[in-house]
Each structure stands twice: as structure tokens, then as C-alpha cells.
Amino acid sequence: MRKKFVIVLGCLIFTAGMVISACIISRFIVKVEQADTISVKGFTEIPVTSDFGNMTITVKNKNEKVETAFQHLKVKVKAVKNQLVKDGFKTGQIELKPAKINTKTVYDQTRAKYIEVKPRQYRVFQRINISSKNVELLKKSSISIQDLIIKGIMLEVDGPYFYVTDLNKVKLDLLSRATSDAAQRAKAIATRGGASLGKIVKASQGIFQVNQPNDTTASSYGNYDTSTIEKSVRAVVSVKYKLK
């Protein structure tokens, strides 16, 4: 009886050992199957120079009489335009927008509607848009044009804003460089682990970031800084490789 018990116990231990061994081997196989690919990120950043820009100058005037306000505005706008031409802009680069008047309205409860209030002084304004490929001239003129304030011409400068017109071409170059960077990273890791790099299984690009030089700010929607002529464009790609 005792002998049978020993035999049965031995069989149970043997069976349990086989099950445990199978589990260990199974887990090992899963890890091996999951380890036949490697995922890495590639990064690159290059400097670019803006080749186009624009700015808007708003010329203002005010007077008790609306006719006089517009007449004086017309003279001041002409002076600003002449200064821009003197600075080096061509007339085709200067666009005059229609002159407008600031109006104030209040809600009249008795009439149940908004009515226009006659001001003590009429405030009128006109915008001038300037676009040019000469970004350095834009930058310089945006500062020098404000000297006209000393001469009694009230104005505000919005900009300049600088852009890279061939940014799509730059992006293609960035993707190529970032993918090469990803390949180098993956190869280094694979070689270290005794494997070699195979074909690309999957690849996706991240959001491009156009920042000021030395600015590492990132946005999920992508940055596009327009305040500086010199910029830095950064790209990230995610690549999965097959291991051999």
C-alpha cells in the first residue's frame, strides 16, 4: 500500500513538473515572438531662414467733424505710404484698406434696440498692409516708421511676421533625416542584443515644430513661430523595424 502511494506521488510530482516546465517554455516563446521587432524614435532639427514677411500699419485720426477727420486721415496715410516707398518698398507691396470709423452703440430700452451714440470726436482709421520677400527691410521699417509719431501721425504697427514659403520641401528633408536617425538608433540597440536590423514594419511622423532658435517648446498641434527671421524646424518620427 505504501509502495503504491509512493508511485502515485511520484507520478503527480512528475506531471506537475512537466506542466510548470511547459508554462516556462511557453512564456519564453511568447517573449521571443514579441522581441522580433524594435520600435524607436528618430529626431532631427535644422535651421531655416524666413523668405517672406508682412506687417500691418494702422493710421489713426480724430476730429469733432467727421469730414475733417477723414480729410486729415487721408493726408497722414499718404505720408506713411511715401515713407514706406522711401524706405525701399515698391508700390505693389503696399496695400491700402478702406478707411473706417469707430462707432459706439448703446442699448435703448425704450426702443428695445441698439442705437448709435454721437461722439464728441469722430475716430477714424485706415490699415496699410505691406508684404515683401525682403524680410530685413520689413524688420527695419517696422521700427523706423514709428518715427512719424513724432511728426503727429498716430499709428500702430502689427508685426512684422516672418514665414518660410518652401516649408513643405524642408519637411521632406527633415523626415528623411529623422528616419536615418531612427535607423542608427535601432541598429545600435539591435547589434548590442546580438541581432541585425531588418525592414521597416511601421512608421509614423510626429508634429513639426517651427520655433525660434534654441527654443525647445513643443505643442501637440505644432508650433509656428513668426516673430523671428531665423527659425529652427524640428521633426520626430516613430519607426518599427523587423529584427533578424
Asked, for residue 7, whether it belongs to a domain, the answer is no
Q: Give the CA diameter of the chain.
A: 125
Q: Are residues 120 and 72 in the same domain?
A: yes
The set of cell numbers assigned to 229 is 527671421
Mean pLDDT across 112-130? 79
CA–CA dist 34, 29 (Å, integer): 9
pLDDT category at 108 given cuts 50, 70, 90 is: low
The answer on 69 and 144 residing in a single domain is: yes
57 within 8 A of 128, measured Cβ to Cβ: yes
pLDDT at residue 63, rounded to an integer:
87
For 57-92, write each residue's pLDDT tens digit. 999 998 888 889 999 999 999 999 999 999 999 999
175 and 148 share a domain?
no
Of 95, 115, 92, 90, nearest to 104 by C-alpha is: 115
| pTM for this model (two decimals) | 0.74
Q: What are phi and psi of 228, to 5 degrees?
A: -120, 155
Is residue 5 domain-resident?
A: no
Phi, psi of 243 (to 5 degrees): -100, 145
Q: Using 50, 70 and 90 to split pLDDT, how confident is the model at 5?
A: very low
Distance of CA 215 to the CA centre of its chain: 12
Q: Do the domain assignments include residue 88?
A: yes
Q: Based on the fold, state whether residues 182 and 238 are members of the same structural domain.
A: yes
Residue 117 clears pLDDT 70, i.e. is over it: no
- pLDDT of amino acid 112: 65
Instruction: Domain of residue 226: give its range.
Output: 35-49+166-243
Last residue of a domain, one of 126, 161, 196: 161
Phi-psi region of 212 (alpha: psi -120 to 50; beta: other; left: phi over 0): beta
Domain final residue, candidates 161, 187, 206: 161
CA dist 7 → 14, 17, 21, 53 (Å): 11, 15, 21, 91
Is the alpha carbon torsion for 197, 202, 208, 209 positive or negative?
negative
Last residue of a domain, one of 161, 186, 218: 161
Measured distance CA(163)–CA(165) in Å, rounded: 6
Residue 83, domain CATH: 3.30.70.2970
77 forms beta bridges with none
Return the number of other C-beta atoms located less than 10 Å from residue 38's C-beta: 20
Are 153 and 79 contacting, i.e. CB atoms less than 8 angstroms apart?
yes
Cell numbers at 203, concatenated: 512608421
The grid coordinates of residue 142 equal 517696422
Residue 162: name the closest of 78, 54, 72 by CA: 54
Is residue 95 located within the same domain as residue 188?
no
**Rounded Cα gap, residues 178 and 43, in angstroms:** 5
At residue 35, the pLDDT reads 60
Closest CA to 75 of 153, 142, 143: 153
Q: Residue 50's closest CA among 221, 212, 220, 218?
A: 212
Whether residue 147 is found in the same domain as residue 173: no
62 and 152 share one domain: yes
